Amino acid sequence: MNRYIIILAILIVVFLGWVYYEKESSTNKSSIKVGLVSALSGDFAFYGESTRAGILLAQKDLQDLGVKIEVIAEDGQFDAAKSLSAAQKLVNVDKVRAIYSDFNPEAITISSFIKGKNILHVYDAAPVSPLKDNPLVYKSYIDYVTGCRSVAEYLKNKGIERVGVLSINLEAGDLCTEGVKNVFGDKAFVEKYNPDITDFRTQLLKLSQNRIEAVFNIALPATTISSLKNMRTLRINVPFVVSSDSISPDIISQNSALLEGVVAFGLTPASDDFVRKLKEELPNESVGYYPAAALAYIHVKQMALALKSCNEDESCVQNKMDNAQPDNVIGFGGFKDHIAQFALPIQEFHDGRFVTVE
């Protein structure tokens, strides 16, 4: 009799284990795998870590809505080749259904790789070329054509007639140049430069020969501050136009006098409620740039909800993304032609801080 009781007990344990396994397996199958490719180490880790924090907060909020996502983060190290390898792993091994990525070269190489693979991709970067013939790819971040055109119009209304553009040899540089030329035409004088340059005196001297009254340079933080220092050394004391994310709090604290009169455009700050929630919900996460966290937060939620509603239906996913609702976390106004729409306030630096002027 005891033998039968033991056998029955074993069968019950096996059955309960099977039920638990099936439940866990079903739960895992129902979760949506989302890949992140960003710089999680190196000079730009502050940005990638902020992005990851925003995605983790989105994951918690989605859980409350009954939508489970599994986040798989890969370190692209601000390198196109490593970011491509990361995307290949995410798609071929991890079987993700969506990828969120940061930075310019990565946006281009990842979007090219996933073309035709039914993978939803939102990238936080300047280029628009990845959108071509890629119906499941969406661009976030600053629209440099619109931003540079808006600042050009602002300067022209102040009486400035001739401007110079230091144009980095990346798509971002071309987009800003296009915006400036839309306003100033042949009175916009352009000097190209490679991303690794640190001395801009030759380019600046050429621009100054054209009696320029302002200089645009949309670049990375180190390049931005180097070119500004070169300008001041050469006594080219005209307005200097930058994107706001190239002027970090560290740069402001170390170069307050140098920045006087600098004009910047960029995203509105992340809302106070979002920043507070991020600190409360994820106190151990490193966030060095709240706009990066806010962008990742809103877009990963959009991607997860679209995929949850549409399953494998590509046209349905696209329709859901195209009709994403505005979000005041960072002033998102919806997508237009797959490009996120944001207000881009213009600011000037005076007395140790940026002040919105338009």
pLDDT tens digits, one per residue of 292-316: 999 999 999 999 999 999 988 999 9
CA 7 to chain centre: 59
The model's pLDDT over 124-166, given as tens digits with 9 standing for 90+, comes to 999 999 999 999 999 999 999 999 999 999 999 999 999 999 9
The model's pLDDT over 221-233, given as tens digits with 9 standing for 90+, comes to 999 999 999 999 9
Q: Under CATH, what is the fold of the domain 144-266? A: Rossmann fold (3.40.50)
Q: Would you call 285 helix, strand, or coil by DSSP?
A: coil
The model's pLDDT over 322-332, given as tens digits with 9 standing for 90+, comes to 999 999 999 99
Residue 27 has pLDDT above 60, yes or no: no
The model's pLDDT over 251-297, given as tens digits with 9 standing for 90+, comes to 899 999 999 999 999 999 999 999 999 999 999 999 989 999 999 99
Q: Is 297 exposed, middle or buried (0-12, 13-18, 19+ CB in 10 A)?
A: buried
Going from N- to C-terminal start, the domains of the chain cover 32-141+270-342, 144-266
Give the span between the Cα atoms of 304 and 165, in whole angstroms.
Answer: 40
Q: Count other C-beta atoms under 10 Å from residue 167's C-beta.
A: 23
Helix axes 80-92, 104-114, angle to 10 degrees: 40
Residues sharing a CB contact under 8 Å with residue 270, sequence separation 6 or more, in sequence order = 290, 291, 293, 294, 329, 330
Residue in this structure with the two tokens 């050394």, named with its chain if needed: 233
| Average pLDDT estimate for 41-63 | 95
pTM of the model: 0.86
Q: How do strand 240-243 and strand 339-342 relate by DSSP bridges?
A: unpaired
Nearest to 66 by CA among 312, 304, 324: 304
Residue 36 has pLDDT above 80, yes or no: yes
Give the span between the Cα atoms of 251 and 118, in whole angstroms.
Answer: 41
Tell me the DSSP string of 314-356. HHHHHHHHHTPPPBTTTTEEEEETTEEEE---EEEEETTEEEE
Radius of gyration of the chain (CA): 24
Same fold, 32-141+270-342 and 144-266: yes
Partnered with residue 283 across adjacent β-strands are: none
Rounded to the nearest integer, the mean pLDDT of the chain is: 92
Nearest to 164 by CA among 145, 190, 185: 190
Nearest to 141 by CA among 317, 299, 308: 299
Predicted confidence band of residue 9 (pLDDT cuts 50, 70, 90): low
Q: Is 20 exposed, middle or buried (0-12, 13-18, 19+ CB in 10 A)?
A: exposed
Residue 24 has pLDDT above 50, yes or no: no
Q: What are phi and psi of 264, to 5 degrees?
A: -135, 150
The model's pLDDT over 96-124, given as tens digits with 9 standing for 90+, comes to 999 999 998 899 999 999 999 999 999 99
Domain 32-141+270-342 sits in CATH 2.60.120.10: no
Percent of the chain with pLDDT over 70: 92
Percent of the chain with pLDDT over 90: 86
Buried b (16+ CB within 10 A) or exposed e, 182-197: ebbeebbbbbebeeeb
Strand ranges (E), 120-162: 120-124, 137-140
Predicted confidence band of residue 82 (pLDDT cuts 50, 70, 90): very high
Direct distance between the N- and C-terminal alpha carbons of the chain, in angstroms, rounded to an integer:
87
Structure-block tokens of residue 179? 């915006």
* Amino acid making up residue 289: Y
Angle at 43 between CA 42 and CA 44, to 5 degrees: 95
Predicted confidence band of residue 333 (pLDDT cuts 50, 70, 90): very high
Tell me the DSSP string of 182-215. HHHGGGEEEEEE-TT----HHHHHHHHTTT-S-E
Structure-block tokens of residue 334? 């919806």
